[in-house]
Amino acid sequence: RLNPGSYNHPVFVCWPLGAKTGSAGELYEDDGETTGYQDGQQSRIPLRQEATANGRRIVVGPAAGTFRGFVRKRPVSLILPM
């Protein structure tokens, strides 16, 4: 990362899954400058993709944690390749 703090506008690419599969992960962030992450100064945003009868559902969960420079409300973009 080139700048400290939160990403201003995270972009997630969510690739299609098989008919009955799902996936999960998280966006991890810390201030990018100090060792504060060792004391819990970090954030994790859960991401989940589920197959549905009509396609897929993408869930971006609420952030857990905080750190200097963390921005709780910001735009998020999803790219859904077919």
Residue 29's CB: how many other CB atoms inside 10 A? 23
The reported pTM is: 0.81
- 3-class DSSP state of 80: coil
Q: What's the pLDDT at 30?
A: 93
Q: What is residue 53's predicted lDDT score, i.e. its pLDDT?
A: 84
pLDDT for residue 19: 67
**DSSP type of residue 26:** E
Q: What would the pLDDT profile of 26-81 be if each residue is shown by its tens digit?
A: 999 999 899 999 999 999 999 999 888 888 899 999 999 999 999 989 999 999 88
Helices (H), 1-82: none
